[in-house]
Amino acid sequence: MGCISNKSKSRLETTKPTEKPISNIVTPLYENPPIKHIERKPNKHKNPNTDAIPGKEKSVQEAQTAEILLKEKTPKEYEQISKSLSAHFLFNSLSDENIKAVVDEIKLYILGPKEVVFTQGSPGMNFYIVALGRCEVIVNGKTKKLLSKGEQFGELALLHDSPRTATVVTVEKTMLWVLSREAFRNAIQSINNKKHEENKQFIANIPIFHSFSPAQKDILLSMIVTHDFNDGQKIVSEGDPGDLLYFIKKGTVICTKSGQEIRKLWPGDFFGEQALLYDTTRTATVTAMGKVTLLSLGRDDLTVALGSHLQHIIYRNSQRIAIEKSSVLKVLTKTQVEGIIDTMEIACYKTGQSVLGRGAPKSQKMLIVLKGSLKFGNRTIGLYSCIGDEEIQRNSTENWEDNWIAETDSDIAILVKEDLERVIGGHLGKVASQNEVLSVLRRVQLLRSLPMLKLENLVCALKIYEYNDGQTIFQEGDIGDAFYIVKEGQVEIFKAEVSIRIITRHDFFGERSIIQNENRTATVIARGKAVCWSLSKKDFLSLIDEGIRKQLTKRMELQNDQCQLSDLVVVKLLGRGMFGNVFLTYNTQTKVFYALKTVQRNKISAFDIYDNLVLERKILLQVDHPLIIKLVKTFKDDRRVYFLMEFVQGMDLFDALRELGLLNNESSRFYIACLMLIFEHLHERSIIYRDLKPENVMVDPEGYPKLIDFGTAKILKQRTFTMVGTPHYMAPEIIKGTGYNLSADVWSIGIMLYEFVCGCVPFGEEEEDTFKIYGKILERNLKYPNYMSSTRCKPIIEKMLDTNPAMRGTVESLKDHPWFIGISWDALLGKQLKPPYVPKAENFVSSLQKILKGSKSFAEVIQHYEDEESFNDSGKSLNKIPPSNWDEEF
């Protein structure tokens, strides 16, 4: 494990074989799947083969001589197997339903004496429980242990196909209960998917949760408890304290008041919602009719999870929905929206009570209906409706010609015009227009990474210009001195007097001119009347400091889609991998260094990684962040596919930590805050990384971390079950196989923070046995060494390392944690804060000069390194037909 102390440790890595993640890093790649023990030397560059990589399912079977008995298990056998499973950490957190599903998949194997169950070094496939007889455990030819009835072995195979560490042979006639990895994972996944969907339906059926965000609904899902009741059993009694909301999953219940039946409830119905909202006592007795299964949510749990009173959360969510539905408010920024919600006052009105009187100015107040409905003449305005927003925007001087009346008991959020303008920073119409431009600026690739404050300053510097039909805005060859956004109308782009395209509202052009001293490469002419926002180069440079200007210049260099393989020369090999190599290359045309990953087609076929390469490319094209490695372009030829990447000089964070030792509070906060920005960018795009660790973070020449290696990343549509990552950093839900989501990355960030301040990981630090590491993680016995460098970060560590994924919070919400008070997120994003450590940059000038004088071609150099490898694809790619047009976008 990567301890900061001056000692060698090992890190172990694994992935489940079916997903076949592939690395794309600029630093070296990977070696032997699926478990690697990598010796860590203090103050040495890391072993190049450190990435989580795929294993492949092997065709070799275990216990090949066994007779497999397919029979119904007796109640006694079922009880014995369940008891044996429940004693093991892999199973003891599973529900009874999960245990039953697993036991149903277990088969009985019968072997004679001296028969081999499996051999040392072979890929693990099954988990075994001795039902009768004895087995001998042999390591390197020596007997280490005898296993008898009830004892278990081979459990690591349930997680991945790591090589067996021993040979197991029967001593006498033996019967084994056997569970395969595939059956285990499928059983758990099937049950948990079914349960997850049922719980989602529960949430969807409760009106008070309709306004909840997806993240808030995930929290609710994690809090649901299942209850079983027998016929005649009381579920709640009239007059009892109310603290649970119930949803009927199966069966029927009868509700009585003072002994009289008032109604029956069926599957899909719910009761007790008032208990969550108002802490009231039960107004009726609810009794089970026959067997009943209920789902419940508790008020106390929700208060802990959501951090506030439920009614308050519901109203804030309702205000957000109303603002999003408003045609004039939906363009406000998140900060402005939250400011409005914080400032609005909530008033309660009884049925028939006047909310706004006839004759009141239309632009005086803005109202949002949070509960109930309002009537205005013949119109009825319901939940999530906004009143007065449009009138405030256009500065209406009219008065309401009728009364706004509460049609039912209603709760209304109210904000006067003066407070609205104070919160958003000006007149609603002007601010909405500025935000409209701001949203366009955030789409400009060159400006996308700028801090929000800088973007807002740029908006204020924009000027509006009007052009008549046929008027030239600028001409090919002119000196570039401004950037333009089309506000209204259309403009046409010409190159060498040939029309290239027509661009319309919110399209932009000329952005490179504000950074580079370039002449215009095209002519732009207005088509019809056109109105453009324009930002001059002079104004831009006056608002952007030198550090950000350099950063933008570098980002522009990485947008060179004109680069061709023929423009590159290979300077040196950066790393070898199972699937390809990474080279430092130099563009002889632009004088820029790049990293080039090459992946041989015979290996793509042999390891069946077509989909992985396509996904890797897709993910890398989606991310554009100054703290994430950038993909410049991909290429292909008849021998390889290529990824041209940003070259990140410096050292990986693992080695930087060895230089720094234990980090103090400020240094830890710097790196974790950077990770928060990185993962906020990824999670906004539903990208889960799944292998965060110091080795996958480079420290660049400016001292800022940069995330590399997206070989295990995935775009999440729902929960995923794949066993992937590096054991010490894995979240418990990944190990248990019950399904996980983006919060698994939050756990890894928590592990990193603990490692920063304690010099070691919190779970399994001294363990090199993968299975023991998993056990320590599931135990979650979180302790801190007495030499811990800072204790101020303990609360956020414990939050991120909560075993309940929903309780960890999202990256976005964690940015508001008290530990981050004082962090300027914009300054961090603009690389304006002083980093704890700046590595020395290697000079490649002499190496480059030799290469440029050399006679070997680009292709010859790459082929030379490939020829040094011992890879033999004989038989591996036979009869394998590549998917049709799989590489068409490379």
Distance CA 613, CA 295 (A): 43
* Beta carbons of 724 and 696 less than 8 angstroms apart: no
Per-state percent for the chain, helix, strand, coil, to nearest 5: 35, 25, 40
Q: Tokens 């949803």 belong to which residue?
A: 247
E-assigned strand segments in 280-403 = 285-298, 345-349, 354-356, 365-371, 374-376, 379-381, 386-387
Nearest to 315 by CA among 221, 431, 240, 410: 410
Distance CA 749, CA 769 (A): 23
Pairing of strands 135-139, 244-257: unpaired
* Beta carbons of 178 and 109 less than 8 angstroms apart: yes
Distance CA 554, CA 362 (A): 51
Total residue length of the chain: 890
* Beta carbons of 222 and 805 less than 8 angstroms apart: yes
Supply the residues annotated as catalytic: 691
Which residues, 6+ apart, have CB-to-CB distance to 548 below 8 Å? 450, 454, 830, 831, 832
Q: Which residue type occupies 249?
A: K
Distance CA 322, CA 314 (A): 12
CB atoms within 10 A of CB 415: 21
* Beta carbons of 377 and 356 less than 8 angstroms apart: no
Nearest to 621 by CA among 641, 645, 637, 602: 645
Q: Is 840 annotated as a binding residue?
A: no
**DSSP count for the chain of H helices, then E strands:** 26, 43
Strand order in the sheet with 152-153: 67-69, 107-111, 174-180, 126-132, 152-153
Token reading at 318: 């309702």
Helix (H) or strand (E) holding 573: strand 568-576
Distance CA 290, CA 134 (A): 47
Token reading at 273: 């919602």
Residues at the binding site are 597
Write out the binding residues for ATP.
Answer: 597
